[in-house]
Structure 1
Amino acid sequence: MTQLVEARMDHFDEICGIDQEVIGDFSRREYLRTAINEKRCIIQQSGKAIAGFLIFTNDFFDNSFISLVIVKPSERRKGIATALLDFYVEMSTTPKIFSSTNQSNTSMHKVFETAGFIKSGFIENLDEGDSEIIYVKLKQ
């Protein structure tokens, strides 16, 4: 059975393991710990295993911002990222939900488009030579 739930500290090691598998190191451990403690992390569980997670904030110019969506490599292309986005959009308390991805991340652009996000702008100079594309979803 698949379910989307708020992450708890007993999920921390597994979340860190997935993050390390994706980015190659444990550099975001404290960031992940803080998000879980502040109840800003949602996971998708399939049975007892975590397939992916989403981190958000609610302080992006008084709007929601999805700062991170990570799906375990073995679980990709199964709709997990889209399900996480849809779930967060439903629970968000702001009428606009923003997120972003590098221009080079074609997979994430497709996920945003599938989830009904639209391009809203870009930021230069975060990653040299790879613009950050901003997306927004307007709640109905």
Structure 2
Amino acid sequence: MVIEADISHIKQIAEIEKENFQKPWSYNLIYGEYKNQHSRIYVFLNKNQVAGYIIYRCIFDEVELLDISVKKDFRRCGIADNLIDFLIEQSKNCNIFLEVRQDNDSAINLYEKKGFRKIGLRKDYYSRGIDGFVMKLYVQGVQDVKNESGCCARAAGNQ
């Protein structure tokens, strides 16, 4: 079951971070996202235990997936799949962006299965010699256009 995280979940999220990442987010960083008015944290609960979580930020008409992880004991059970589906459902009318380690094949495969496409590469994004792909899920009816300043702006409909 996916529910919005409350303060009692932050410690469990931080523990999963430590379990899964060489450079995990700290409790304080997760708490900062919890308090950020633009960020959302949802957890997948299994018997009142956090089995996985997703952290994303909504700014105007864009969504950025910041962090997603599943506790090792619950991997290969479809939890990450469910969390991505939940994110897509919550992000209607918004394209979704993320960065993923270039060598994280399982995550890349999941994102591509969900419709994300590689749109760029960030050199040394994770650390020296470890690049990150920028990926984007294009939502039907929302397209990027260039505005007068040359920056990407968003427009709905076909043009």
With the shorter chain as reference, the TM-score category is 0.7 to 0.9
- 1:43 lines up with 2:40 in the alignment: no
- Aligned with 1:131: secondary structure? strand
1:125 deviates by 2.4
Aligned equivalents of 1:26, 1:105: Cα separation in 2: 16
Q: Does 1:54 align with 2:42?
A: no
Q: Which residue of 2 aligns with 1:20?
A: 18
CA contact (8 A) 2:61 2:94 kept: no
Q: Which has the higher contact order (CA 8 A, sep 6+)?
A: 1
Q: Where in structure 2 are there 5+ consecutive unaligned residues?
A: 141-159
Give, in whole Å, the separation in 2 of the partners of 1:29 and 1:97: 25
Structure with bigger helix share is 1
One-letter amino acid of the counterpart of residue 45, structure 1 = L
The Cα of 1:36 is off from its aligned counterpart by 2.1
5 Å matches for 1:1-140?
3-23=1-21, 27-38=25-36, 40-59=40-59, 62-92=61-91, 94-126=93-125, 127-140=127-140
- One-letter amino acid of the structure 2 residue matched with residue 102 of structure 1: R
Q: Residue 45 of structure 2 aligns to which amino acid in structure 1?
A: Q
**CA offset digits 1:38-67 (Å, max 9, x no partner):** 3511111112111111111123x8511001
Q: Is the 8 A contact 2:17 2:25 kept in 1?
A: no
Give the distance between the partners of 1:63 and 1:56, measured in 2 at CA: 10
> What TM-score results when the alignment is normalised by the length of structure 1?
0.87
- SS of the residue aligned with 1:31? helix
Q: From the two aligned structures, give the one with the greater strand fraction.
A: 2
Deviation for aligned residue 1:13: 1.5
Name whichever of 19-28 and 93-102 sits farther off. Answer: 19-28
Rg larger for:
2
TM-score (norm 2): 0.77
Q: Which amino acid aligns with 1:116?
A: G
Partners of 1:113 and 1:120 in 2: how far apart? 12
Q: 1:67-120, CA deviations, whole angstroms, 9 ceiling, x for partnerless residues?
A: 111111111112111211110111125520011111011111111112221111
Measure the CA separation in 1 of the matches of 2:91 and 2:132: 23
Q: Once superposed, what is the RMSD of the aligned Cα atoms?
A: 2.0
